[in-house]
Amino acid sequence: MFSIDPATASAFFAASLLLAITPGPDNLFVLAQSIALGRKAGYAVTAGLCSGLLFHTSMVALGVAGILVNSPIAMRSLEIFGAVYLMYIAWSMLHAPATNTEPTTTDTKSAEYQARETISPLLLYLRGVIMNVSNPKVSLFFLAFLPGFIDADASGVFAQTISLGLLFMASTAIVFGAVATTAGWLQQSFESRPDVQIWIYRSSAIVLSAIALHLLCF
C-alpha cells in the first residue's frame, strides 16, 4: 500500500488489531449501542467511528494535529463537546422504553417499536463520527503511534501516514464489527424480555456516562 513495505504494514496491522481489542471509549460505545439497539445499529456506529479515524489521520498527515496539541483551549473545547453529546445519548437511553418487536396486530406495530425505528442508520453513523472526531486524544494517540512505523528517510511521508491510517481503520472495522455482531446477537436474545431490555438501556446509559467522564477527566 503506497510506499510501506509489507513487513512494516503487517507489523502495524497486527499492533492495530491488539489496540482495537483493548477496551476503550470507542469499542465500549459500539458495545453499548449494539446491545441496546441491535447489530445493524452497531455496524452503523462502527462505520461512523472509522470515518472519524480518517479525519484524525488527515490531521496528523497535514500537521494540524501538532497544532491542536499546542492549543489546550481547542482540545478542551472538543472534549467538552464530545462529553456533552455522550451525556445526551445516555439521557435518551436512560428514558428509552422497553420495546416489543412483534406487532400488536397483523398490520400495526407497537408505538414503542415505531419510536425505536426512528433512530435511522444515518443518525447512528453520525453518532459514531461525532464520538470519534470530538475526542482529541485519538489525534494524540496517532501522533505517538504512527511515527514509529514511518520511514522518515524515504519519500512520501504523507502517503505513508495515510496508508497507516487506512490500515488502522481496517483493523478497527474488523474488531468493532465483531463486537457489534456479538452484542447484537445478545440483544436479539433479549428482545422479548422487557425487563431485561430496560436493564440493558440503563446499563448502556451508565457506560456512555462513564465514557463522557473519561473524556473530561483523563
Per-block mean pLDDT, blocks of 10 residues, the chain (218 long):
76 91 87 90 96 90 73 77 82 68 45 54 94 84 82 76 92 96 85 71 81 76
Whole-number pLDDT of residue 113: 44
Whole-number pLDDT of residue 214: 75
Q: How many residues does the chain have?
A: 218
> How far apart are alpha carbons 2 and 155 in whole angstroms?
11
Whole-number pLDDT of residue 105: 46
Whole-number pLDDT of residue 107: 44
pTM given for the model: 0.78
> How far apart are alpha carbons 56 and 85 in whole angstroms?
19
Contact call for residues 215 and 83 (beta carbons, < 8 A): yes
Whole-number pLDDT of residue 3: 63
Contact call for residues 75 and 218 (beta carbons, < 8 A): no
Instruction: Work out the angle at residue 39's Cα, subtended by the Cα atoms of residues 34 and 42, and round it to the nearest 5 degrees.
Output: 50
